């Protein structure tokens, strides 16, 4: 999938929710994000590739379990960030999705779209991701560089305070 910007998939068996969430995110992020929608996990998995940046994934997908889809997405592209979206508030379920590689676990409800938007924005603007994408350096090197910059800033502040 070759598009400019961020490639985001929305996967939920509720077609109305999928359409509404797509419109909401498109209004928030504009042309910087390309959104594809799916109402089942298998259709999503057919399209997931190295160019898939973010997947917003419902946990309950009819006959499929979102956790299984999450694991398959991570097997295809470990760099894809997955935001689990579920009506279930079970902490054990949330922990299980984090262990499988989910970036966030958002419970459907009144403020869930705000949380999803914040997580998507965080993923898009994350400095390490930018270094990896823009400068083609490894994720490990980007993390080391960010740690060095952070330490340098702290040392600079401490030195300024001592003056």
Three-state secondary-structure class, residue 34? strand
Q: What is the pLDDT of residue 3?
A: 41
* DSSP at 49: -
Please tell me the CATH superfamily of domain 6-125, with its number: Response regulator (3.40.50.2300)
Distance between CA atoms of residues 155 and 133, nearest Å: 28
Half-sphere exposure of 73 (CA within 13 A, CB side): 34
Q: What is the mean pLDDT of each run of 10 residues along the chain (163 residues)?
A: 72 93 92 91 92 94 87 95 92 93 92 90 75 80 82 84 81
Percent of the residues in the chain that have a pLDDT greater than 70, as a whole number: 96
Q: What is the pLDDT of residue 129?
A: 67
Q: What is the pLDDT of residue 98?
A: 94
């Amino acid at each position: 999938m070759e598009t400019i910007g961020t490639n985001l998939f929305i996967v939920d068996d509720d077609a109305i929710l999928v359409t509404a969430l797509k419109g909401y995110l498109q209004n928030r992020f504009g042309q910087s994000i390309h959104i594809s929608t799916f109402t089942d996990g298998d259709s999503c998995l057919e399209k997931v590739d190295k160019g898939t940046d973010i997947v917003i994934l419902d946990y309950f997908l009819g006959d499929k379990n979102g956790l299984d889809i999450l694991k398959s997405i991570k097997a295809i592209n470990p760099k894809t960030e997955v935001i689990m979206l579920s009506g279930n508030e079970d902490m054990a379920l949330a922990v299980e999705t984090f262990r499988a590689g989910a970036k966030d676990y958002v419970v459907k409800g009144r403020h869930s779209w705000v949380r999803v938007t914040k997580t998507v924005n965080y993923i898009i603007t994350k400095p390490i991701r930018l270094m990896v994408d823009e400068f083609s350096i490894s994720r490990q090197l980007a993390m080391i560089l960010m740690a060095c910059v952070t330490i340098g800033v702290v040392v600079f502040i401490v030195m300024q305070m001592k003056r």
